[in-house]
Amino acid sequence: MDKKKYFAASELLINEDGSIFHLHLKPEQLADKVILVGDPGRVALVASHFDTKECEVESREFHTITGTYKGKRITVQSTGIGCDNIDIVLNELDALANIDFKTRTEKDTHRTLTLVRIGTCGGLQPDTPSGTYVASIKSIGFDGLLNFYAGRNEVCDLDLEAAFTEHMHWNPQLCAPYVIDGDKELIDRIAQNDMVRGITIACGGFFGPQGRELRIPLADPEQNKKVECFEYNGLRITNFEMESSALAGLSALMGHKAMTCCMVIANRLAQKANTGYKNTIDGLIEKVLERI
Ligand code: R1P
Ligand code: URA
């Protein structure tokens, strides 16, 4: 029999109280269904719908509440902003689910998590005005994270990557974009027929990487025009946000089911934004809680 891989103290960081390093969660506090949100303040909004609250943990930008909604045990977890944070959150959630903290080895049976991100995003098409709910069928990662993991080519859509790279005249000074699908069954269940479905670009920044120019000129002023007119097998690029690629990519590599749905708060074509969205994202939260 193969000897089990041992995860040393420097690789799998466990706090003295038995919780995982950044999230400060213990294995028994994690539900199989997980809602991920960027904003730590959104955790309380999601949990305000819960019937019961089992635990609440706060550490840095990571705020967690586990409870029940209509009998379903759910963990709501904030990730903060960006794919770098998703690397931490996904690896730590997966460790809580699939590594035995006592022996520091992988458990014999795999536990699959269902992960739904509820986020905000920028809309890129005429049919994605502020208030639209968008489900990411595929994500294009401008963040580079998945390129650091073995198996990336086995889970990515290499044909779309090639078509997109050619369409954009991709600058080789940038990290290679990766293209990854959300979980199809989960997308159909959560998006049903009241969310726009499309390709999402997850960016490693809110300004330059999303083609926003304040005082510093952009390397490619035509980027967003090229993004907006890209089409692939009838799919268009619908929105920009900052986490969906790493979430879908790491979940595919780890054997979890994941998807992202976002509410549009700024339409880049119409140059309009809704910064008072915090009251209206509750509609999306309710749909996800019902359908997860
Ligand atoms: C940027 O304002 C943040 O908002 C979006 C982006 O992905 C990024 O995290 O999502 P959240 O509202 O979930 O944070
Ligand atoms: N989040 C983003 O990442 N981009 C936007 O334009 C709005 C929200």
pLDDT in tens, 198-245: 999 999 999 999 999 999 999 999 999 999 999 999 999 999 999 999
Q: Is 241 in the pocket of ligand 2 (CB under 6 A)?
A: yes
277 has a pLDDT exceeding 90: no
pLDDT digits (tens, 9 = 90+) for 139-150: 999 999 999 999
Supply the DSSP symbol for 5. Answer: P
Q: Is 121 helix (H, G, I), strand (E, B) or coil?
A: strand
Inter-residue contact 249 to 155 (CB < 8 Å):
yes
For 142: left if phi > 0, alpha if psi spans -120 to 50, otherwise beta; the answer is alpha
Tell me the CA–centroid distance for residue 7 and ligand 2, in Å: 37
Max CA separation in the chain (angstroms): 61
pLDDT at 166: 98
> CATH topology for 27-291?
Rossmann fold (3.40.50)
Q: What is the mean pLDDT of residues 237-261?
A: 98
Q: What is the pLDDT of residue 151?
A: 97
265 CB-contact burial (10 Å; exposed 0-12 / middle 13-18 / buried 19+): buried
Average pLDDT over residues 261-289: 94
pLDDT grade for 1, boundaries at 50, 70 and 90 = low
E strands, the chain, are 33-37, 52-59, 62-69, 72-78, 99-100, 105-106, 114-123, 133-141, 178-181, 196-202, 231-232, 235-241, 257-267, 272-273
- Cβ contact 281:136 at 8 Å: no
Query: What confidence tier does 280 reach under pLDDT thresholds 50, 70, 90?
Result: confident
* Residue-wise pLDDT tens digits, 84-125: 999 999 999 999 999 999 999 999 999 999 999 999 999 999
Residue type, 3: K
Query: Minimum-distance ligand to the CA of 77?
Result: 1
| pLDDT tens per residue, range 48-72 | 999 999 999 999 999 999 999 999 9
Tally of CB atoms within 10 A around 35: 25
| CA–CA separation, 101 and 209 (whole Å) | 39
What's the pLDDT band for 78 if we cut at 50, 70, 90? very high
Give 159-206 pLDDT, tens digit per residue.
999 999 999 999 999 999 999 999 999 999 999 999 999 999 999 999
Contact 142, 262 (CB under 8 A): no
The CA 81 to ligand 1 mean position distance, Å, reads 6
CA distances from 187 to 61, 108, 110 (A): 27, 29, 22
Alpha carbons 216 and 206: distance in angstroms, whole number: 14
Ligand 2 atom nearest 212 alpha carbon: 6
Domain residue ranges of the chain, discontinuous segments joined by +: 27-291
Q: Are residues 37 and 89 in contact, defined by beta-carbon separation less than 8 angstroms?
A: no
CA distances from 153 to 72, 156, 223 (A): 35, 5, 25
Tell me, in angstroms, the distance from the centre of ligand 2 to residue 265's CA. Answer: 7
- Provide the pLDDT for residue 269: 92
Residue 279: is its pLDDT beyond 90? no
Q: What are phi and psi of 16, to 5 degrees?
A: -60, -30
**What three-state secondary structure class fits 285?**
helix
**CB 125 within 8 Å of CB 240:** no
CA of 38 to the centre of ligand 1 (A): 5
Residue 31 pLDDT: 99
Average pLDDT, the chain: 97
Please write down the long-range contacts of 145-150, taking CB distance under 8 Å and 24 or more positions apart. Answer: 145/83, 145/84, 145/86, 145/87, 145/245, 145/246, 145/249, 145/250, 146/178, 146/180, 146/245, 146/246, 146/249, 146/250, 146/253, 147/175, 147/176, 147/178, 149/249, 149/250, 149/253
State the complex-level ipTM.
0.99
Pocket of ligand 1 (CB under 6 A): 37-39, 81, 119-120, 206, 241-243
Which numbered atom of ligand 1 lies nearest the CA of 242? 7
pLDDT of the residue at 225: 98
